[in-house]
């Protein structure tokens, strides 16, 4: 351990920590552009210079390691002078078009200019001519005038994707980042570039001019589009009522988690977010028309149906089809209610088919919680549907048919013959019309709970969005239902939140007791 | 014994051929080192000689070699810096053209001392003819068993290759040189780690200037004490001073370290050209802060020049006459650094170009009052704050020219501007 | 100009590459070879070289555009590069450059219409004792004045 002093603030950090990281741990931000946690320090922007007592020159905070007893100043006159010098240079070579720049509001350069009051440039010479708005990828635009040559993008493509679609050409003041021979950035992680770029030099066409960053609320969530469970921020206009906006979610951003996704997410997770807003089912539908009944009434009806069969000892005629879009807690409740308490005969999974994976984050599974289902004890093999549906009188299906990627055809023919069919769904889908009752469900992004990813990490999440319309989290419905069933009332009565369910789940299932987070 | 170490035999015809070189005590130092001396002894001798690097920074060669880790599995490399890009500098070209075997002999001893089996001579791309001459000399040395699998039957193996640069001053900077040798853009590396521990291909690497390495044989043959006595105790040997500009006899002059600058210009280089008066001298390549006519009575060694707030650098002396406008000098200087910045770090990439643009405007007759102060500020933004020393190298001459010739520079600014 | 590199060149490239711990390190020498054969390095050569050294073409372009000696477009049979750095300019390189411009009828960076000459200025050539000086292809010419330049150029085929 090394004891050091940064701006009079004492901090104890491990030997070998860089000054920049040590300062961060002490709550001090040292300006930096080229440095990014994912890469080795490159030392090129020179924004992070600090003063170290006893040394003749300013040193880089991003690469200099602390030594015991070191005294660092991040705000001395010479440090500020140097920082301003760097900013002044960058400003001289920058268009300063913040009013039309998508990065405005989260641009480091803009932040620093503001901090140092440097909007008036003393640069009176001719600016370098560079290109603006060059397409460098399916979703990416490059503005060479805004580029500060931090090379984060090049290093990302070099070290992370190893595709290296961008390079630095020419030298000196003519140096520029560009693609080669018209070959665009084309890999499943390209969207990270726009986020990685500290300025508005690489922008995301998906986000371009759609809204301003400062209108967005950013909330933590977990991506559910495959079973990696990448940590994300869902950024939305939350209850922003001045305009009637066509959608809530404007973009998905990465959230660092070294155990899961590092600093990155894949393009699927980043761009395929429209499902959060589009074609959402947000009403209770009975017999194909919106139903005025409340959730309470509906829950009673469902409980009545189950109770009827249960008391007639016909539980084996209740069928339950699941998808692993459900959280650990929800699957746990389902297991308790339907398998333990009512002991229904038939439970099976109907997950969307596997798709291609890559050798980095994206997995073949297209739902987020197959592993959780397995650890709770479900058999994930799809049933022989014909046999499964043969003597079912009451069928429940929990499905989140995003873009119709699940094959429901084996069910279709049988649905008609079953006395009562109930679908718990998040989206409008042609299959919905075949059910007697369709109940609107919240998505993972709209509720709390936990998921178990492909390698078995259990990750908690809380709502990043409000549930639309009449949508309800499945766990809530399941608790209400169980209480109505009056089979094991006290047990279910203790559940008021996903956390309270998880506590019990931990006690009952060893897997969740252990550290898998 | 004359005081010339490197150029002593330059008068001989065909010195560049191995036979002529051998007739003049050639490769005797290598024989002595490889057969009679231990690596440690060589290192001690070189340390004691206070041989300071001739490439510019003046770092003691022996100390540098000592930084290379001894017991290490990885291969070690020697890179001889023959980039010779510092404006005003042409001395290494003379050594390589006239006495290539002296350099090769120095390479053999250096490599033997440090435990190196592969050496590269990184030579600037423009020196194609010189590179060919080196390659011929190398091939002669292989033929005569001074290079190859088992040099002189001692079992010591060494391969030497010539690697040509391709037009980039920055590749003279040692870490840019390594990048360039690895087939990349010449972007200097962040230090630490230093090349002695992590250099070429990630392996420990010694980088020395041509002249530095060429001094090694004489140190081995004649001893450190002799070497120091030729030069100064703390700065041994001779320097090859390259004089250019407005003198009668521009050229190279090998003289003891510590020779007086005025003496070099007047006595050796023949004094000023007919009818010209000395105005200023750049004493150590373009990066060195300029000296005025009053300041040239000075000993040419590293420490004296540092004391005079300039530097010995590559010992390239550029003599400027009264008729030359300092604004024009400033324009040449700033154009050069703006052109040669690798572009990696902000203050150098943009600062140099900005300074150059201001100076160009001034030279076009559109200077403004505030220009000189702005240049000073931009140069200060670079000084000590860039990734590699090119920032300093660019700032120092600019700052010194403005400081010492401000009045003249101001006189080029139109009144009222 | 043949589109493919000759077998001899390819063999030489292999030989050069064997000197280094990584094939990529042979890039500069190989580019010199290729330029020697082709006169300049176009995208096609970039790709060929990349293929031979097993690196991405974009890396070859990064290098080609960094070093001033690699020509990205065709140059004349005689590539004249006049030093414009300090020692040479002290001794009048500027007027020599003007002289060359007039004589050849081209500006700096241009090639004569018969593709015989390309005129460029360069930074210090490391021959300041012979200032003012220039390079034509790889030959150095020093202590220049107008007459000497006329002589040299008039004797070129
Ligand atoms: C911008 C720059 C250019 C340099 N150019 C050269 C050069 O052309 N030749 C050289 O020997 N050293 C040059 N150097 C110095 C080298 O970085 C290095 O210090 C030297 O090669 C070490 O050898 P020495 O200790 O024998 O002098 C340059 C340094 C800088 C910062
Ligand atoms: S495009 Fe962005 S990330 Fe890439 S070098 Fe420029 S500023 Fe840095
Ligand atoms: S890898 Fe999977 S979890 Fe991660 S962002 Fe992509 S789809 Fe989402
Ligand atoms: S100081 Fe200049 S040459 Fe050195 S790394 Fe920075 S930009 Fe490149
Ligand atoms: S963050 Fe340290 S130099 Fe860029
Ligand atoms: S200044 Fe022209 S060769 Fe050095």
DSSP C20-87: SSSGGGGHHHHHHHHHHHHSS--HHHHHHHHHHHTS-HHHHHHHHTTSTTS-SS---SEEEEEE-SHH
Gap between the Cα atoms of A432 and A441, Å rounded: 13
Contact C13, C26 (CB under 8 A): yes
Buried b or exposed e, range A67-85, using 16+ CB within 10 angstroms:
eeebebbbeeeebeebbbb
Nearest to A388 by CA among A485, A318, A457, A442: A318
Q: What's the CA-to-centroid distance between B81 and ligand 1, angstroms? A: 7
| Average pLDDT value for residue range B125-140 | 98
Q: What's the CA-to-centroid distance between A454 and ligand 4, angstroms? A: 46
Set of chain A residues whose Cβ sits within 8 Å of the Cβ of B384: 56-58
Q: What angle do CA A415, A417, A421 make, to 5 degrees?
A: 45
* Tokens of residue A509, six digits: 């299932």
Nearest CA to ligand 1 atom 12: B55
A58 lines ligand 5 (CB under 6 A): no
CA distances from B219 to B48, B234, B238, C157 (A): 10, 15, 12, 50
**Domain-wise residue ranges, chain A:** 2-92, 126-204, 218-276, 285-513
Which tens digits make up the pLDDT trace of B206-241?
999 999 999 999 999 999 999 999 999 999 999 999
Beta bridge partners of A428: none
- Same domain as C84, residue C29: no
- How sure is the predictor about B42, in pLDDT bands with cuts at 50, 70 and 90? very high
Q: What's the CA-to-centroid distance between B254 and ligand 4, angstroms? A: 32
For residue B388, give the ligand 4 atom closest to its CA.
Answer: 4
Beta-carbon contacts of residue B269 (< 8 Å; ≥ 6 apart): B243, B247, B248, B249, B250, B251, B253, B317, B319
Quick check: B186 contacting C, CB < 8 Å? yes
Q: Which residues of chain A have pLDDT under 50?
A: 240-242
Do the domains A285-513 and A126-204 match in fold?
no
The DSSP H or E segment spanning A253 is: strand A249-254
Set of chain C residues whose Cβ sits within 8 Å of the Cβ of B178: none
- Same domain as C60, residue C85: no
Residue A29 sits at φ, ψ, to 5 deg, of -95, 125
CA distances from A252 to A242, A464, B32, B148, C86 (A): 23, 11, 71, 61, 56
Gap between the Cα atoms of B330 and B340, Å rounded: 15
CA distances from B262 to B270, B285, B297, B396 (A): 11, 16, 5, 22
Looking at chain A, which subunits does it touch, using at least 3 CB pairs closer than 8 Å as the criterion?
B, C
* CB–CB contact B183 C123 (8 Å): no
Q: Looking at residue A214, what is its pLDDT?
A: 80
- Same domain as C37, residue C87: no
Is residue B149 classed exposed, middle or buried when 0-12, 13-18 and 19+ CB atoms within 10 A define those classes? exposed
Residue from C56, C90, C140 to probe the interface with B (highest B Cβ count within 10 Å): C90
Instruction: Indicate if the pLDDT at residue C75 is higher than 90.
Output: yes
Q: Give the number of domains in chain C.
A: 2
Gap between the Cα atoms of A442 and B229, Å rounded: 88
Listed in order, strand segments (DSSP E) in A80-179 are 134-137, 140-142, 166-169, 176-179
Cis amide prior to A240 (ω within 30 degrees): no
Gap between the Cα atoms of B260 and B172, Å rounded: 27
Nearest to A94 by CA among A149, A44, A42: A149
Q: Looking at residue A514, what is its pLDDT?
A: 73
| Average pLDDT value for residue range B331-359 | 98
Set of chain C residues whose Cβ sits within 8 Å of the Cβ of B180: 28
Contact B51, B238 (CB under 8 A): no
Q: Looking at residue A244, what is its pLDDT?
A: 54
- How sure is the predictor about C1, in pLDDT bands with cuts at 50, 70 and 90? very low
Quick check: C131 contacting B, CB < 8 Å? yes
Q: Looking at residue A120, what is its pLDDT?
A: 74
Mutate to test the pocket of ligand 6, among B84, B86, B87 (most ligand atoms within 8 A of CB): B87
* Tokens of residue B317, six digits: 């002396």
| Average pLDDT value for residue range C54-80 | 97
- Same domain as C130, residue C91: yes
Q: What's the CA-to-centroid distance between B85 and ligand 6, angstroms? A: 10
Q: The domain that contains C55 carries what CATH number?
A: 1.10.10
Q: What's the CA-to-centroid distance between C5 and ligand 5, angstroms? A: 43
Q: What is the largest CA-CA distance in chain C?
A: 50
Looking at chain B, which subunits does it touch, using at least 3 CB pairs closer than 8 Å as the criterion?
A, C
Give this prediction's pTM. Answer: 0.95
* CB–CB contact B346 A174 (8 Å): no
For chain B, what percent of residues have pLDDT higher than 90?
Answer: 98
A185 lines ligand 2 (CB under 6 A): no
Mutate to test the pocket of ligand 2, among A36, A109, A153 (most ligand atoms within 8 A of CB): A153
* CB–CB contact A180 C61 (8 Å): yes
* CB–CB contact C65 A169 (8 Å): yes
Residue B144 sits at φ, ψ, to 5 deg, of -95, 15
Mutate to test the pocket of ligand 1, among B47, B56, B240, B336 (most ligand atoms within 8 A of CB): B56
* CB–CB contact A165 C58 (8 Å): yes
Q: How many other CB atoms are there within 10 angstroms of residue A452's CB atom? A: 27
- How sure is the predictor about B317, in pLDDT bands with cuts at 50, 70 and 90? very high
Quick check: C26 contacting B, CB < 8 Å? yes
CA distances from B373 to A79, B362, C23 (A): 20, 13, 49
Quick check: C87 contacting B, CB < 8 Å? yes
Q: Looking at residue A406, what is its pLDDT?
A: 85
Beta bridge partners of B232: B235
- Same domain as C143, residue C88: yes
Residue A229 sits at φ, ψ, to 5 deg, of 75, 40
- How sure is the predictor about B147, in pLDDT bands with cuts at 50, 70 and 90? very high
Residue C65 sits at φ, ψ, to 5 deg, of -85, -10
- Same domain as C91, residue C56: no
Contact B210, B80 (CB under 8 A): yes
Is residue A32 classed exposed, middle or buried when 0-12, 13-18 and 19+ CB atoms within 10 A define those classes? buried
C39 belongs to a structural domain = yes
Contact B337, B80 (CB under 8 A): no
The matching CATH number, chosen from 3.40.140.80, 3.40.50.620, 1.10.10.10, 3.30.70.20, for A126-204 is 3.30.70.20
Nearest CA to ligand 1 atom 23: B208
Q: Looking at residue C2, what is its pLDDT?
A: 47
Place of tokens 């960076």: C109
Nearest CA to ligand 3 atom 2: A226
Gap between the Cα atoms of A21 and A283, Å rounded: 49
Listed in order, strand segments (DSSP E) in A291-379 are 318-322, 346-349
Q: How many other CB atoms are there within 10 angstroms of residue A259's CB atom? A: 12
The DSSP H or E segment spanning B251 is: strand B251-256
* CB–CB contact C61 A168 (8 Å): no
Contact C84, B86 (CB under 8 A): no
* CB–CB contact C43 A181 (8 Å): yes
For residue B89, give the ligand 1 atom closest to its CA.
Answer: 8
- Same domain as C98, residue C57: no
C72 belongs to a structural domain = no
- Select from C129, C135, C138 the Cβ nearest to the Cβ of B251: C129
- Same domain as C31, residue C98: no
**What class does CATH assign to A218-276?**
mainly beta
Contact A268, A223 (CB under 8 A): no
Closest residue on chain B to C26 (Cα): B183
Contact B301, B235 (CB under 8 A): yes
Pairing outcome for strands B316-321 and B278-282? antiparallel
Enclosing domain of residue C97: 78-154
Q: What's the CA-to-centroid distance between A153 and ligand 2, angstroms? A: 6
Nearest to A232 by CA among A249, A217, A219: A219
- Select from A164, A170, A171 the Cβ nearest to the Cβ of C58: A164
Closest residue on chain B to A126 (Cα): B357
Residue A313 zone, left/alpha/beta (φ > 0; ψ -120 to 50; rest) = left
Closest residue on chain A to B356 (Cα): A125
Q: How many other CB atoms are there within 10 angstroms of residue B363's CB atom? A: 17
Least distant ligand from the CA of B343: 4
Gap between the Cα atoms of A75 and B173, Å rounded: 32
Gap between the Cα atoms of A103 and A204, Å rounded: 10
* CB–CB contact B339 A172 (8 Å): yes
Q: The domain that contains C85 carries what CATH number?
A: 3.40.30.10
For residue B59, give the ligand 1 atom closest to its CA.
Answer: 25
CATH placement of domain A285-513 = 3.40.50.740
Which tens digits make up the pLDDT trace of C94-113?
999 999 999 999 999 999 99
The matching CATH number, chosen from 3.20.20.70, 3.10.20.740, 1.20.120.160, 3.30.750.24, for A2-92 is 3.10.20.740
Q: What's the CA-to-centroid distance between A150 and ligand 2, angstroms? A: 5
Gap between the Cα atoms of A26 and A224, Å rounded: 34
- Select from B93, B128, B336 the Cβ nearest to the Cβ of C123: B336
Residue B185 zone, left/alpha/beta (φ > 0; ψ -120 to 50; rest) = beta
Q: Sign of the CA dihedral A351, A352, A357, A363? A: negative
C1 belongs to a structural domain = no
Strands ordered across the beta sheet of B77-82 = B159-164, B118-123, B77-82, B205-209
Q: How far apart are the first and last CA of chain A?
A: 27
Q: Looking at residue B312, what is its pLDDT?
A: 97
Q: How many other CB atoms are there within 10 angstroms of residue A489's CB atom? A: 11
Q: Looking at residue A212, what is its pLDDT?
A: 77
Nearest to C36 by CA among C63, C76, C3, C9: C9
Q: How many other CB atoms are there within 10 angstroms of residue A261's CB atom? A: 23
Set of chain C residues whose Cβ sits within 8 Å of the Cβ of A171: 65-66
Quick check: C61 contacting A, CB < 8 Å? yes
Beta-carbon contacts of residue A379 (< 8 Å; ≥ 6 apart): A348, A349
* CB–CB contact A85 B387 (8 Å): no
CA distances from A459 to A2, A176, A441 (A): 33, 41, 21
Q: What is residue A222's three-state secondary structure? A: strand
Q: How many other CB atoms are there within 10 angstroms of residue B362's CB atom? A: 23
CA B224 to mean position of chain CA atoms: 22
Q: What's the CA-to-centroid distance between B6 and ligand 6, angstroms? A: 23
Quick check: C62 contacting A, CB < 8 Å? yes
- Same domain as C141, residue C83: yes
- How sure is the predictor about C6, in pLDDT bands with cuts at 50, 70 and 90? confident
Is residue A167 classed exposed, middle or buried when 0-12, 13-18 and 19+ CB atoms within 10 A define those classes? buried
| Average pLDDT value for residue range B145-164 | 98
Quick check: C51 contacting A, CB < 8 Å? no
Q: Which stretches within A36-179 are classed as H helix?
A: 77-92, 108-116, 152-155
Which tens digits make up the pLDDT trace of B236-263?
999 999 999 999 999 999 999 999 999 9
CA distances from A415 to A325, A419, B33 (A): 22, 8, 94
Nearest to C21 by CA among B205, A205, B379, B231: B205
């Amino acid at each position: 351990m090394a004891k050091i002093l940064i701006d009079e603030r004492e901090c104890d950090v491990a030997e070998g920590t860089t000054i920049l990281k040590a300062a961060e741990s002490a709550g001090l931000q040292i300006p930096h552009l080229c440095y990014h946690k994912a890469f080795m320090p490159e030392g090129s922007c020179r924004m992070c210079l600090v003063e170290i007592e006893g040394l003749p020159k300013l040193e880089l905070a991003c690469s200099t390691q602390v030594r015991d007893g070191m005294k660092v100043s991040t705000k001395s006159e010479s440090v500020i002078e140097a920082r301003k010098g760097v900013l002044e240079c960058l400003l001289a070579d920058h268009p300063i078009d913040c009013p039309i720049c998508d990065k405005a509001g989260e641009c480091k350069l803009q932040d620093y200019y503001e901090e140092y009051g440097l909007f008036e440039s003393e640069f009176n010479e001719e600016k370098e001519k560079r290109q603006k708005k060059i397409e460098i990828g399916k979703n990416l635009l490059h503005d060479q005038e805004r580029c500060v040559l931090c090379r984060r993008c090049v290093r990302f493509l070099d070290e992370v994707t190893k595709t290296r679609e961008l390079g630095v050409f020419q030298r000196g003041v003519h140096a520029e980042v560009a693609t080669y021979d018209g070959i665009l950035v084309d890999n499943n992680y390209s969207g990270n570039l726009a986020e990685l770029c500290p300025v508005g030099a690489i922008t995301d066409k998906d986000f371009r001019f759609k809204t301003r960053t400062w209108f967005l609320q950013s909330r933590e969530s977990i991506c559910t589009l495959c079973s990696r469970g990448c940590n994300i921020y869902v950024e939305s206009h939350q209850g922003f009522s001045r305009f009637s906006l066509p959608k809530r979610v404007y973009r998905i951003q990465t959230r660092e988690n070294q155990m899961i996704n590092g600093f990155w997410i894949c393009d699927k997770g980043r761009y395929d977010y429209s499902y959060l807003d589009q074609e959402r089912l947000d009403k209770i539908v009975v017999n194909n028309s919106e139903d005025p009944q409340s959730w309470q009434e509906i829950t009673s009806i469902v409980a009545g149906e189950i109770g009827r069969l249960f008391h007639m000892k016909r539980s084996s005629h209740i069928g339950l089809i699941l998808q692993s879009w459900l959280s650990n807690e929800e699957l746990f409740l389902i297991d308790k209610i339907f398998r333990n308490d009512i002991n229904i005969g038939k439970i099976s999974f109907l997950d969307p088919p596997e798709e291609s994976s890559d050798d980095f984050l994206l997995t073949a599974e297209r739902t987020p919680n197959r592993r959780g289902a397995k650890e709770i004890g479900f058999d994930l093999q799809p049933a022989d549907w014909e046999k499964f549906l043969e003597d079912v009188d009451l069928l429940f299906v929990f499905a989140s048919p995003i873009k119709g990627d699940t094959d429901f055809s084996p069910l279709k023919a049988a649905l008609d013959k079953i006395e009562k069919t109930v679908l718990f769904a998040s989206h409008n889908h042609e299959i919905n019309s075949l059910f007697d009752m369709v109940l609107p469900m919240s998505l993972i992004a709209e509720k709390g709970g936990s998921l178990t990813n492909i390698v078995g990490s259990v990750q908690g999440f809380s709502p990043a969005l409000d549930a639309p319309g009449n949508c309800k989290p499945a766990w809530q419905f399941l608790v209400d239902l169980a209480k109505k069933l009056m089979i094991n009332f006290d047990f279910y009565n203790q559940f008021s939140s996903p956390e309270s369910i998880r506590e019990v789940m931990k006690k009952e299932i060893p897997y969740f007791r252990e550290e898998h987070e | 014994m004359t005081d010339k170490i490197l150029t002593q035999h330059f008068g001989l015809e065909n010195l560049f051929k191995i036979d002529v070189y051998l007739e003049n005590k050639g490769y005797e130092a290598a024989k002595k080192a490889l057969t009679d001396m231990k690596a440690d002894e060589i290192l001690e001798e070189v340390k004691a000689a206070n041989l300071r690097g001739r490439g510019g920074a003046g770092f003691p060669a022996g100390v540098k070699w000592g930084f290379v880790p001894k017991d290490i599995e990885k291969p070690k490399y020697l890179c001889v810096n023959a980039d010779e890009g510092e404006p005003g500098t042409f001395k290494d070209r003379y050594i390589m053209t006239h006495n290539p075997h002296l350099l090769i002999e120095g390479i053999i001893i250096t490599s033997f001392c440090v435990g190196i089996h592969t050496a590269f001579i990184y030579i600037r791309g423009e020196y194609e003819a010189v590179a060919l001459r080196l390659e011929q000399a190398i091939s002669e040395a292989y033929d005569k068993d001074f290079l190859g699998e088992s040099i002189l039957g001692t079992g010591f193996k060494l391969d030497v290759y010539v690697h040509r640069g391709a037009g980039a001053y920055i590749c003279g900077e040692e870490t840019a040189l390594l990048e360039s040798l690895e087939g990349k853009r010449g972007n200097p590396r962040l230090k630490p780690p230093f090349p002695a521990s992590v250099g070429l291909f990630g392996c420990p690497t010694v980088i020395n200037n041509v002249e530095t390495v060429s001094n090694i044989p004489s140190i081995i043959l004649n001893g450190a004490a002799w070497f120091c006595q030729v030069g100064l105790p703390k700065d041994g040997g001779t320097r090859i001073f390259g004089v250019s500009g407005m003198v009668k006899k521009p050229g190279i002059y090998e003289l003891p370290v510590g020779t007086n600058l005025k003496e070099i210009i007047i006595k050796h280089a023949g004094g000023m050209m007919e009818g010209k008066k000395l105005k200023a001298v750049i004493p150590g390549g373009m990066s060195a802060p300029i000296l005025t006519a009053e300041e040239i009575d000075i000993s040419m060694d590293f420490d004296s020049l540092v004391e005079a707030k300039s530097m010995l650098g590559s010992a390239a002396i550029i003599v400027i006459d009264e008729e030359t406008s300092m604004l024009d000098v400033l324009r040449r200087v700033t154009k050069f650094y703006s052109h040669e910045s690798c572009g990696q770090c902000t203050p150098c990439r943009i600062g140099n170009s900005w300074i150059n643009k201001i100076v160009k405007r001034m030279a076009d007759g559109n200077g403004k009052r505030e220009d000189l102060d702005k240049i000073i500020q931009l140069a200060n933004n670079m000084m000590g704050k860039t990734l590699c020393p090119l920032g300093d190298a660019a700032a120092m001459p600019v700052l010194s020219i403005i400081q010492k010739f401000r009045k003249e520079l101001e006189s080029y600014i139109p009144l009222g501007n | 100009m043949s589109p493919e590199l000759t077998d001899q060149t390819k063999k030489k490239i292999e030989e050069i590459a064997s000197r280094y711990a990584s094939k990529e390190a042979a890039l500069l020498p190989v580019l010199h070879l290729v330029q020697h054969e082709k006169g300049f390095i176009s995208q096609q050569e970039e790709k060929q070289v990349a293929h031979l050294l097993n690196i991405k073409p974009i890396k070859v372009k990064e290098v080609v555009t960094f070093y001033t000696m690699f020509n990205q477009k065709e140059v004349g049979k005689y590539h004249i590069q006049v030093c414009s750095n300090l020692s040479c300019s002290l001794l009048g390189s500027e007027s020599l450059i003007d002289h060359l411009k007039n004589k050849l009828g081209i500006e700096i960076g241009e090639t004569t219409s018969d593709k015989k000459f390309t005129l460029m200025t360069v930074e210090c050539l490391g021959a300041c004792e012979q200032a003012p000086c220039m390079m034509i292809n790889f030959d150095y010419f020093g202590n220049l004045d107008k007459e000497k330049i006329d002589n040299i150029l008039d004797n070129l085929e």
